[in-house]
Amino acid sequence: MGVKAFLPFTLILIIVAASWGCHSANERELPILGFPKIIEGDTIPHTIPDFSFVNQDSQWVTNETFGDAVYVTDFFFTSCPTICPKLTRSMLRMYEEFEGRDDVLFLSHTIDVRRDSVPRLRLYAENLGVTSDRWHFVTGDRDKIYDIAEDYMSIAVEDEDAPGGFDHSGWLILIDKNRHIRSYCDGTKDEEVDRLMEDIKILLDES
């Protein structure tokens, strides 16, 4: 007896723990984020409402534009002197990572609708070397953009004291084909963007 009797148990424990670890790593599921609404006893998860904005090619962009694709969205403006270049670079990194896939799309909202006209957005996209096949830069009614920022759990406000005149959060937000927020990250941190790219892959495997 003694130590030897415990050996099988220990082994079983180790095997169980190891397989549990593998299990949770492979089957990681993305939650549906945001506050659910309860309507007549039914729980409705947080859903991105209808929107329609105009992109860099003067085309309407709506919820239908994304169809069965997942998309990553952010808020920026072309003359932004602070975090936008870094956000755009992170978006570009993902755009390149999923090159050739039409089920991973990108949507950048300008929060400076007065200055960022369609031609200005088009020049921005051209200088970045990206096209509206996969990445939409949109403008539209100011209040509608600020409102939808809240639905994406982001902040977009005009603020004279902020550098460049606008204050906004640096989140990159991942939306699934059912208009639910499934993941997000701080777009200024490379390692968080890496994690978001993993989440995109998990989301693609789901459907």
Q: Does 128 bind other proteins (CB under 8 A)?
A: yes
Tell me: does residue 26 bind other proteins (CB under 8 A).
no
Could you give the CA distance from residue 196 to residue 190 in angstroms, rounded to a whole number? 10
Q: What are the angstrom distances between the C-alpha of 104 and each of 37, 66, 109, 183?
A: 28, 9, 17, 14
Residue 8 in contact with other proteins, rule: CB under 8 A:
no
Place of tokens 């996969």: 134
Q: How far is the CB of 134 from other proteins (least distance, A)?
A: 15
Q: How far is the CB of 78 from other proteins (least distance, A)?
A: 9
Cα 179 to Cα 159: distance, rounded to the nearest angstrom: 30
From 28-36, 121-129, 143-151, 167-175, give the range in contact with other proteins by CB under 8 A: 121-129
Using CB under 8 A, count the residues that bind other proteins.
18
Site string for other proteins, 74-113 (x = CB under 8 A): -----x-xxx-xx-xx--x---------------------
In the window 138-167, what residues touch other proteins (CB under 8 A)?
none
Q: Toward other proteins, which CB reaches closer, 70 or 185? A: 185
Decide whether 189 or 201 has the Cβ nearer to other proteins. Answer: 189
Binding interface with other proteins (CB under 8 A): 79, 81-83, 85-86, 88-89, 92, 117, 119-120, 123-124, 126-129
